Structure 1
Amino acid sequence: MAVAGLGMVGLLVWPRLRRARLWHATITPLASIIGSGFLILGPILTDRFGSYGIVAMVVLCAVGYAFGWAIRYNIARIGDDDGTKAGEGAPDDTAALRRVERISSWALAFAYVISVTYYLNLFGSFFARIFPHPSDSLSRIITTVIYGIILAAGLTRGFSLLERVEQISVSLQLATITALLAALCVYGVQEYSDGTLHYSSAVIGGLPALQLMFGFIITVQGFETSRYLRREYSAADRQHSMKMAQWISTAIYLVYAGLLAISFESGSFTLKETAIIDMMAKISAVLGPLLILAALAAQFSAAVADTGGSGGLVEELTEGRVSPKGAYVGLAVIGLGLTWSSSVFQIVSYASRAFALYYALQSGLAFLRARHTHDGSGQNTLRLAGFAALALLGLAAAVFGRSVEGG
């Protein structure tokens, strides 16, 4: 376990990798995807789907990659000017398409608000585990304090300092995940040798299972950040960075879900947002503290990034009428309201539905842009059908997604 974790650290600090342009472009979406779901998704899928959790994971990753396909098409159509101003769209977009693009940007800004709430509530839950008697109230108090710190930083131009933790956070996160997967592999091999591999049936199916999956799109979210990378990256760079981030995160998620499926049974642990700590304590006493440390770094840096992203989007969309500082205050007010009125799992569902709406709009835009240049070929017809199906899927997820407590 230690060797695997240290090996990953060595790889991440390897000068050739650190200087690689594609890797620099991949770090942000990769950190966002893994930070969004790794900590809570495994226990939830194992608890609800049993040994078939890996099947659910395949579906989630496939859906995420499909939505990424639509966004990558939009990146290609908009070209290298993408990201200069929110809501502008492609050079040849009609006025109607530009309006939809603008609505899509507003949907993303709102989704960022909910995702920050999710990240900071997860931060509060993991931080509370440091204390002898963690509770929901303690988690919410911690979340409130962190909101205050981030808001103060945003109002006093202190974000640049906070944003520096991203590279450290990514390295710590990937090293911890590598160590965790290595420990699960050793544990799985030992169980196989002893003939004690676990199997359990799903406790949910049909429409409730589908609605639950809709409510967890947030866990594979984050790839869309490739679209909004700095202008120094070309459209091709941003498309490749998204693909790379989704390939790497999918590989990590599938190995993770598969190992959990053979190591634990549905109902063998108490399902809560920090369940992964209790599950890993069975395998290694070292993993619990490591997971807490990695969780705090990952959730904090993700919250800072999305807070900054939301503020910047709102400023551009309102053409400066609302400053980033004003957006930060609004974000904090909404987030604190959700923090004290909803559970973490409910907030996960809200965030998933918000991003599903954004993905639906992006898929709809991809459909309209593809139709605008439709040449009658079979390939383009299939592309149109795919984009239309994704738009409908995103809308369905936005409307019918539910939290695990309702599953």
Structure 2
Amino acid sequence: MTATATLERPRVNSLAPFAPRPRPVQAAHIIRSDAEAIEIAHRLAARFAPESALRDREGFLPIDEIDAYSQSGLWGLNVPKAYGGPGVSYATLAEVVAIISAADSSIAQISQNHFVLVAHVGLDASEAQKRELFGLVLQGHRFGNAFSELNSRNVAAFETKVVVHGDEVEVSGQKFYTTGALLSHIVPIVAVNEAGKGYIVFADRDTPGLTVINDWSGFGQRTTASGSVKIERVRVPQSRVVPIDAFDHPTAAGPISQIIQAAIDAGIARGALADSIDFIRTKSRPWIDSGKETAGEDPFTIAAIGDLQIRLHAAEALLERAGRLVDAALANATEAGVAAATVGTAEAKVLTTQVAIEVTNRLFELAGTRSALTVHNLDRHWRNARIHTLHDPVRWKFFHIGNYYLNGVNPPRHPWN
């Protein structure tokens, strides 16, 4: 890549207008098996990893990478088979996300809300809406996100309003943390009517009145473009309005959202541990008291790497178990089955959070002072882990898990549980 080409690449934190991405000119690949999904994820990860540090350092948006990711067919993984999709296991979906996250966790996070929205279409949309929206996903269209609001009372309080006008609705409000919206083809907006009932309004990215602002300034997950969306009297056909009913009765909506978050954290830990091992093997010096010729022979370093690897494997095992519990809850959405999936996913979320922060912190202790040089940009792993694990506090996971096992109390149903 030439210096000129590098300078011309779109960056984050630019308030200049960013044109909507062109819609795909050909349909995305349709994945036919769980094994194929894993194989494609590994192939893409090998492509995404080499420039992940550069993208983070320079703030380059992963535009080509996201196009390749969605066209690969991976963004259609949880479209049900009945609608022409792969309908893979959520254990497989979680592993795909972890593989991509290990290569570049910002790219993995950009796809997170898309998968959640595909699941919501399956749970809450009408048959006509499922046919349309699932069809768009299989063609390669990407869903963004206009959910959270920066100044509301709490994460579940929505001030964005939707009003019916004949065959259309009008939506007005402002959103933040809108990961995926900038590079999406469709921006689903969470809004409430006068009675407080919630809806997801699937607005085309180029709809008049919809403005995506590239103003994300977090110190981690820098290239997710998780900035703002302004919604000024946006008009959308009623056929694109899906009620949010999935949390009013037992469904797998909550654990589906959470398992993807946990998978991103597992991937961050996986990528950071791989980089730690590589750095220790190739660049670190042995500590003087070890009497060893290489840093990799230091017995304390060896033991520490063993400890971190065990923790990572434990987190990955719980992540796979959570995927199977989600599959079971989708197949038979009973109160007990959904609670088991929610608690199982919470257990995975606890361990993936802990191991992501632990690995990314201990990287520098084990790899030594050289690993702190900016040329390596290894601090991106810690920054990404610290930012991404803030999405929902694990201190509440411990409470709900303990209350479930000790007192038989099922956890609440919402997107953060």
- Shorter-chain TM-score bucket reads under 0.3
Question: Which of structures 1 and 2 has the larger relative contact order (alpha carbons within 8 angstroms, sep 6+)?
Answer: 1
More strand by share: 2
More helix by share: 1
Instruction: With the length of structure 2 as denominator, give the TM-score of the two structures.
Output: 0.26
Instruction: With the length of structure 1 as denominator, give the TM-score of the two structures.
Output: 0.26
